[in-house]
A = this chain, B = another copy of it.
Amino acid sequence: MKALLIGGLSAALLATGAYAQPLEPKDQVKNRKAGYQFMAWNMGKIKAQVVDESVPYDPLKVQAAANAIAAVANSGMGELFSPGTSRAELGKQTRLKADFFKNLDEASRLGREFNLAANQLASVAASGDKGAIKAAFGETGKTCKSCHDKFRHD
């Protein structure tokens, strides 16, 4: 997975895209929300099994969930964050703060940290070590929260 980190948020923010025509703002929002929603569902499954222990721990299910999170993280979502796609321009369609585009270095850093944590979670999930998964899950969650706190409206 590590070789694909370049597909993450940071690379896309720093590089010009390979796509002549970026998607329409509403479609960027639709796709990025889909990615975050799908990751949230998979984070929830891991949490239930290794943190809350409200459902039995199934290593293959945790592995599948972690792989989904990492693959979404590695898929190049930065292309879905063109300037002009924050709440300032799009209203309630999106919770992205306009500050995101005024702090692209910080956004890139947070995106990189998330990608690294998500790939680490997938790597640890493959080992089946529940304690290590719990720790890596916590680290991943922290990187989600860092970006939400800074760049997402409540």
Contact = CB atoms under 8 A, between A and B. Distances in A.
Interface of A: 3-4, 6-7, 18-20, 30-31, 33-35, 37-38, 41-42, 45, 48-49, 54-56, 58, 60-61, 63-65, 67-68, 70-72, 74-76
Contacts of A54: 20
B60 A4 contact: yes
State the oligomeric state as a number of copies.
Answer: 2
16 contacts: A4-B64, A4-B67, A7-B61, A18-B49, A18-B58, A31-B38, A31-B41, A38-B75, A42-B75, A61-B76, A64-B75, A65-B76, A67-B71, A67-B74, A68-B74, A68-B75
B56 A7 contact: no
